[in-house]
């Protein structure tokens, strides 16, 4: 799929009414890996605009009631997952949308989840790739993190539970020393002894 084209068309059509999360948001913060799908949050009132846009580009709509997301697939173009009510256990609220940050993705200005919200979503997903994303985001952008906000979103106990394993998931190209310094950041945040 041409992820960049899908992101560009959604951003151009919906502007700040589309909040990108997942791999697209990670890439906007730190371009360390490529994603193969698009995850986006829109208010329920904007969902039909998104649906019309994607169906007009050949995407087929499939609702997924178990995951509370809307799935759009195109055989040669991949997948766009849209969330209107919740992402996992995280409710879509005006606060979540209001903390979005405008960043650049492949030459297009887009609205992405605030850093703390993106970290919280990745921690909640809990897959190894998500935790590796957390490690990279904290290594590269950790000085921008509001630790108190992140703790209020995730819980201090959960952060302490995951901190040691997250530090080990920093990709090998960052090196041993970077992993040790990341763990030191976690100690400063109070997530490790």
What domains are defined for the chain?
1-113 (3.30.460.40), 115-193 (no CATH)
pLDDT band at 111 (very low <50, low <70, confident <90, very high): very high
Q: How many CB atoms lie within 10 A of CB 170?
A: 24
**Which pLDDT belongs to residue 75?**
77
**Which pLDDT belongs to residue 66?**
65
Averaged pLDDT for residues 40-49: 96
Tens digits of residue pLDDT in 17-38: 999 999 999 999 999 999 999 9
Closest-CA residue to 163 (of 127, 123, 117): 123
Q: What does the buried/exposed string (b/e) look like for 1-11 if buried means 16 or more CB atoms within 10 Å of the residue's CB?
A: bebbebbbbbb
Q: How many CB atoms lie within 10 A of CB 87?
A: 24
Q: What is the pTM of this model?
A: 0.94
**Which pLDDT belongs to residue 1?**
53
Tens digits of residue pLDDT in 50-74: 999 999 999 999 877 666 789 999 8
pLDDT band at 151 (very low <50, low <70, confident <90, very high): very high
Averaged pLDDT for residues 168-186: 93
Distance CA 64, CA 50 (A): 16
Averaged pLDDT for residues 163-191: 92
Least confident of 62-71, 74-83, 139-148: 62-71
Closest-CA residue to 113 (of 11, 21, 16): 21
Averaged pLDDT for residues 137-157: 95
Closest-CA residue to 80 (of 104, 47, 127): 47
- Let me know: does 121 contact 87? Beta carbons within 8 Å: yes
Distance CA 65, CA 168 (A): 35
**Which pLDDT belongs to residue 68?**
78
Averaged pLDDT for residues 100-119: 97
pLDDT at residue 193 greater than cutoff 90:
no
Residue 143: helix, strand or coil by DSSP? helix
Closest-CA residue to 74 (of 86, 57, 95): 57
**Which pLDDT belongs to residue 127?**
94
Averaged pLDDT for residues 1-18: 92
Cα-based distances in Å from 188 to 22, 182, 184, 191: 27, 10, 6, 8
Closest-CA residue to 82 (of 7, 169, 180, 4): 7
């Amino acid at each position: 799929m041409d992820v960049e084209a899908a992101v560009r068309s959604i951003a151009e059509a919906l502007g700040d009414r589309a909040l990108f999360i997942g791999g697209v948001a990670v890439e906007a913060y730190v371009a360390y890996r490529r994603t193969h799908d698009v995850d986006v949050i829109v208010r329920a009132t904007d969902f039909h605009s998104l649906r019309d846009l994607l169906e007009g580009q050949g995407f087929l709509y499939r609702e997924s009631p178990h995951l509370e997301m809307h799935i759009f697939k195109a055989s040669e173009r991949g997948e766009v997952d849209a969330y209107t009510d919740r992402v996992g256990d995280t409710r879509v609220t005006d606060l979540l949308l209001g903390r979005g940050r405008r960043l650049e993705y492949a030459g297009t200005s887009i609205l992405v989840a605030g850093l703390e919200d993106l970290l919280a979503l990745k921690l909640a997903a809990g897959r190894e790739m998500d935790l590796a994303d957390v490690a990279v985001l904290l290594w590269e952008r950790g000085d921008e993190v509001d630790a108190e906000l992140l703790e209020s979103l995730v819980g201090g106990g959960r952060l302490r539970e995951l901190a040691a394993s997250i530090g080990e998931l920093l990709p090998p190209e960052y090196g041993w020393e970077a992993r040790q310094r990341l763990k030191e950041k976690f100690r400063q945040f109070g997530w490790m002894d």
